[in-house]
Chains A and B, each alone.
Chain A
Amino acid sequence: MSKAMIKQYAVRLGDDALVQGHRLSQWCSKGPFLEEDLALTNVSLDFIGRARMFYSYAAQLEGGDVTEDWYAYQRDCRDFTNLLIHELPTGDFAFTMARQYLMDEFGLAFMQCLESSSDETLAAIAAKAVKESRYHLRRSREWMLRLGDGTEESHNRLQTAVDDLWDYTAELFELDELEQGLANDGIAVDTIALKSNWGMAVGALLGEAAIDIPQTDRAICGGRQGMHTEHLGHMLSDLQFMQRAYPGQEW
Chain B
Amino acid sequence: MSEHMKLFEVFLRSKRGLDHKHVGSLRAEDPEQALEYARDIYTRRSEGVSIWVVHSADIVASQEDDCESFYDPQDDKPYRHAMQYQLPEAVNNM
Contact = CB atoms under 8 A, between A and B. Distances in A.
B41 A142 contact: no
Contact of B32 (A36, A42, A142): A142
A33 B5 contact: yes
Nearest to A34: B2
Interface residues of A, number: 13
Interface residues of B, number: 15
Interface stretch (B11-19, B22-30, B54-62, B86-94): B22-30
B52 interface: no
A39 B37 contact: yes
A48 B39 CA distance: 19
B36 to A, nearest CB: 6
B26 A35 contact: yes
A33 B2 CA distance: 6
Contacts of B36: 39, 138-139, 142
Contacts, number: 32
Contact of B33 (A32, A135, A142): A142
Contacts of A244: none
A134 interface: no
Interface in B28-52: 28-29, 32-33, 36-37, 39-41, 44
Given A42-B44, A146-B29, A35 B1 contact: no
Given A38-B41, A39-B40, A33 B27 contact: yes
Interface string A89-122: 0000000000000000000000000000000000
A93 to B, nearest CB: 10
Contacts of B26: 35
Contacts of A32: 1-2
Interface in A123-162: 135, 138-139, 142, 146
Given A33-B2, A142-B33, 9 more contacts: A33-B5, A35-B37, A35-B40, A35-B41, A36-B37, A38-B40, A135-B39, A138-B36, A142-B36
The 6 closest A-B pairs by CB, nearest first: A33-B2, A39-B40, A35-B37, A42-B40, A35-B26, A33-B1
27 contacts: A32-B1, A32-B2, A33-B1, A33-B2, A33-B5, A33-B27, A34-B2, A34-B27, A35-B2, A35-B26, A35-B37, A35-B40, A35-B41, A36-B37, A38-B37, A38-B40, A38-B41, A39-B36, A39-B37, A39-B41, A42-B40, A42-B44, A135-B39, A138-B36, A139-B36, A142-B33, A142-B36
